[in-house]
C-alpha cells in the first residue's frame, strides 16, 4: 500500500451518502454509491460548498450553496452554476477502508 493514503472506514460512509475527510493536507469527499466508493475534492468548484456534506441523488451530489450539481464518478458539472469539473481519485477499498493515491488525482476534460 505504498503511496496510498487511508481516508475513512467503509462502514463510516452509508450507501447513498458522502463524507468529508481531511487527511495529509487534502480535503476530500468520499461517496458510497450502491456499495461502490468514489473520491472527489470536497470543495465545490463554484464556491465554498463542502460537497462531502451535501445531498447525494443517484450519481450526483448537489451543492447546498447554490444547488449546482456534479456527476460523482467523473467529477463533471451537471447543473448550473457549476461549470468547472471536480478533481477525482480512484478509490481503493482495502482492509475495510477507502484509500487513494493523492498524487493520482485527475480532472475530466
* Binding range to ligand FES, per CB under 6 A, among 12-20, 30-38, 59-67, 90-98: 59-67
Q: Supply the minimum distance, in Å, between the C-beta of residue 45 and ligand FES.
A: 8
Contact 73, 60 (CB under 8 A): no
In terms of CB distance, is 32 or 42 closer to ligand FES?
42
Distance CA 109, CA 55 (A): 25
Cell of 8: 475513512
Q: Which is nearer to ligand FES, 5 or 77 (CB)?
A: 77
Site for ligand FES in 17-56 (CB under 6 A): 44, 46-49
Q: How far apart are CA 70 and CA 80, in angstroms?
A: 10
- Please give the Cα distance from 40 to 10 (Å, whole number): 16
Distance in Å, CB of 46 to ligand FES, minimum: 4
Count of residues touching ligand FES (by CB under 6 A): 11
Contact 9, 96 (CB under 8 A): yes
| Footprint of ligand FES (CB under 6 A) | 44, 46-49, 63, 65-66, 68, 81-82
Amino acid at each position: 500500500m505504498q503511496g496510498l493514503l487511508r481516508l475513512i472506514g467503509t462502514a463510516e460512509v452509508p450507501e447513498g451518502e458522502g463524507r468529508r475527510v481531511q487527511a495529509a493536507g487534502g480535503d476530500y469527499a468520499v461517496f458510497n454509491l450502491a456499495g461502490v466508493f468514489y473520491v472527489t475534492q470536497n470543495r465545490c468548484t463554484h464556491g465554498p460548498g463542502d460537497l462531502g456534506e451535501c445531498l447525494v441523488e443517484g450519481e450526483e451530489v448537489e451543492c447546498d450553496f447554490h444547488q449546482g450539481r456534479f456527476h460523482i464518478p467523473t467529477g463533471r458539472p451537471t447543473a448550473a452554476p457549476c461549470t468547472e469539473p471536480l478533481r477525482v481519485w480512484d478509490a481503493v477499498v482495502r482492509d475495510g477502508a477507502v484509500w487513494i493515491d493523492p498524487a493520482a488525482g485527475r480532472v475530466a476534460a
